Amino acid sequence: MPPRKIIIDTDPGQDDAVAILLALASPELQVVALTAVAGNVPLALTERNARIIIDLARSDTPVYAGCDRPLTRKLVTAEHVHGKTGLDGIPLPDPVSPLQPQHAVDFLIDTLRSHPPGSITLCALGPLTNLATAFTRAP
């Protein structure tokens, strides 16, 4: 059976980092992309954290930055849980993997529309802002 294609929508703190690393290492999954969203920390840090995780996994999985705030309220972060960067604890290198130029919402719409229904699974690990925006723009 071929691996299941997934897109991980995430706001990487330590919890999502472990989930992403496990998904990337799984022979049952093909991680098509990571889409970052503001949540545990602001978007600039979640997209950075996603790229660091990709680098640590030695993966070429693309990373797309998405929505920088919730749709209907102010962003409430969780630095008190995940630290100032979202991945506090041990020093981590700056990311080498590039951030893709396309907005995560546009990537989601384009990718899901260009593949047969049910062929890609969305794995939402963070706030659902990217997904809600994509489904609003392209029902």
pLDDT of residue 36: 99
**How many other CB atoms are found less than 10 A from the CB of residue 33?**
22
Domain ranges of the chain: 4-137
Question: What is the token pair recorded at 21?
Answer: 């690393």
For domain 4-137, the CATH architecture is Alpha-Beta Complex (3.90)
* 69-123: pLDDT as tens digits: 999 999 999 888 888 998 998 899 999 999 999 999 999 999 999 999 999 999 9
In degrees, to the nearest 5, what angle opens at C-alpha 71 toward C-alphas 65 and 72?
A: 155
* 121-133: pLDDT as tens digits: 999 999 999 999 9
- In 47-98, the DSSP E strands lie at 63-65
Continuous segment of H or E residues that includes residue 109: helix 104-113
What's 45's DSSP letter? H
pLDDT of residue 53: 98
pLDDT of residue 33: 99
pTM attached to this predicted model: 0.96
